[in-house]
């Protein structure tokens, strides 16, 4: 089960309405008590006067650190191995980590092996948020952002780790009734060996984009004790990703009158990749009516029509929000979900009841042995780190 921080999550809509004061775009107030200790905004992680290592930099919106924005700190990390210690606050900005050389389009070594730490060790206290959507016009008039461009945070570097941070996109359909591109990504992750511990991902459509840098790279990602919420395809992409002890929550919708409201997972695993998404020892809850959500649908993007989406959900509790009779759907009739690599094993809860067996492909105990975090992540073992 998720950590104690995340067992009773405040939904994104409730989070937005929680406060009308400073930082009201995400309703951050009130912060937890230890977040108000301005004398020690970085907790046990030192300070600019007591720097833990030469490559530790401090971010504080009130000016007590080296930088007041996350992006400025990232820009200062010109070599590998930097750690950003981030003080409590709402950081309303877009952030991009990972340098791409303009001439070749390839990544450079800058910013690899980077770690971001929420100093209070409570993800509710450190929030990185912005409000671009796919259909949001760019300021320079060159069109709209598109799905990838809408991301509040973009991680394009290898060896990235984040702990105790909220990544959010607070763009709302209700505020923009004329916009058709309603995808609004909280974070897009493309790097190999990207790990997130005790983090939150808040959005509506396309919240968590777990992807890779290109088709030829099978990026491994690990999410542990995290909370993710949304409505349409809100965990999606082609990464090899393990979600362990995570809580996925489907949101209510007032713009639709009937089911389905949306889909939790939409993997787009490359056909050559033997490992897609693995959800293990997690839970899926909902604030929507019973059976108004599908567990998943396969995404075969136009840029890769050879994709063979893969999702395994095992040892996971599925709540009443999931349509137990027909938990999967097609995104396009040309690519039926039955031809994809979808499977379940040893799930529980009302949304896991097997009433129509052909709609719920199950692993055998023998095949389930090949669907573990170690099998998916290989020699990279982020779950063994303290």
296 Cβ neighbours under 8 A, 6+ residues apart: 263, 264, 265, 266, 267, 311, 313, 327, 328, 337, 342
Confidence of residue 111 (pLDDT cuts 50, 70, 90): confident
Q: Which of 83-87, 108-112, 190-194, 301-305 shows the lowest per-residue confidence on average (mean pLDDT)? A: 108-112
Look at residue 105 in the predicted model and tell me its pLDDT: 58
First to last CA, the chain: 18
Q: Looking at 158, 170, 192, 206, which residue is catalytic? A: 206
- Per-residue buried b or exposed e for 25-40, using 16+ beta carbons within 10 Å of the residue's own CB: bbbbeebeeebeeeee
DSSP letter at 167 equals E
- Element (H or E) spanning 185, and its range? none
pLDDT at 195 over 60: yes
Q: What is the pLDDT of residues 10-69, one digit of tens each?
A: 444 444 433 323 333 334 344 454 444 567 999 999 999 999 999 999 999 999 999 999
Q: Looking at 131, 158, 233, 323, which residue is catalytic? A: 233
Q: What is the pLDDT of residues 280-328, one digit of tens each?
A: 999 999 999 999 999 999 999 999 999 999 999 999 999 999 999 999 9
Per the annotation, the verdict on 233 as an active-site residue is yes
Block residue for tokens 């137990």:
324
Model's pTM, two decimal places? 0.91
Task: Output the average pLDDT for the chain.
Answer: 90
Look at residue 109 in the predicted model and tell me its pLDDT: 61
Q: Quick one: what percent of the chain has pLDDT higher than 70? A: 87
Look at residue 104 in the predicted model and tell me its pLDDT: 60
């Amino acid at each position: 089960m998720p950590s104690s921080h995340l067992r009773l999550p405040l939904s994104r809509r409730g989070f937005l309405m929680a406060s009308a004061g400073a930082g009201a775009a995400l309703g951050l107030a009130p912060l937890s008590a230890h977040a108000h200790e301005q004398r020690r905004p970085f907790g046990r992680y030192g300070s600019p006067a007591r720097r833990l290592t030469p490559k530790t930099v401090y971010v504080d919106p009130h000016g007590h650190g080296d930088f007041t924005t996350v992006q400025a700190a990232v820009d200062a990390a010109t070599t590998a191995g930097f750690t950003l210690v981030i003080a409590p606050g709402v950081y309303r900005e877009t952030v991009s980590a990972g340098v791409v050389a303009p001439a070749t389009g390839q990544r450079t070594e800058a910013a690899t092996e980077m770690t971001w730490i929420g100093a209070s060790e409570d993800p509710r206290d450190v929030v990185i948020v912005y409000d671009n959507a796919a259909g949001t016009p760019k300021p320079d008039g060159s069109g709209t952002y598109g799905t990838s461009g809408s991301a509040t945070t973009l991680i394009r570097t290898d060896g990235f780790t984040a702990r105790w941070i909220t990544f959010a996109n607070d763009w709302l359909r209700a505020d923009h009734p004329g916009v058709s591109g309603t995808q609004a990504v909280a974070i897009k992750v493309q790097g190999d060996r990207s790990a997130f511990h005790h983090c939150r991902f808040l959005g509506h459509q396309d919240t968590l984009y777990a992807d890779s840098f290109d088709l030829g790279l099978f990026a491994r990602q690990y999410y542990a004790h995290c909370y993710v919420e949304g409505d349409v395809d809100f965990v999606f992409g082609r990464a090899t990703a393990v979600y362990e002890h995570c809580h996925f929550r489907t949101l209510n919708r007032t713009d639709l009158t009937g089911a389905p409201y949306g889909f939790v997972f939409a993997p787009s695993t490359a056909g050559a990749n033997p490992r897609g998404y693995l959800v293990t020892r997690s839970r899926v809850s909902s604030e929507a009516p019973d059976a108004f959500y599908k567990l998943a649908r396969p995404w075969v993007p136009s840029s890769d029509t050879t994709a063979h989406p893969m999702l395994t959900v095992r040892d996971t509790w599925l709540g009443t929000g999931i349509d137990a009779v027909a938990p999967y759907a097609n995104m396009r009739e040309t690519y039926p979900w039955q031809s994809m690599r979808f499977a379940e094993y040893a799930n529980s809860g009302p949304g896991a009841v097997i009433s129509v067996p052909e709609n719920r492909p199950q692993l055998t105990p023998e095949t389930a042995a090949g669907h573990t975090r170690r099998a998916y992540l290989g020699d990279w073992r982020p779950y063994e780190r303290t």
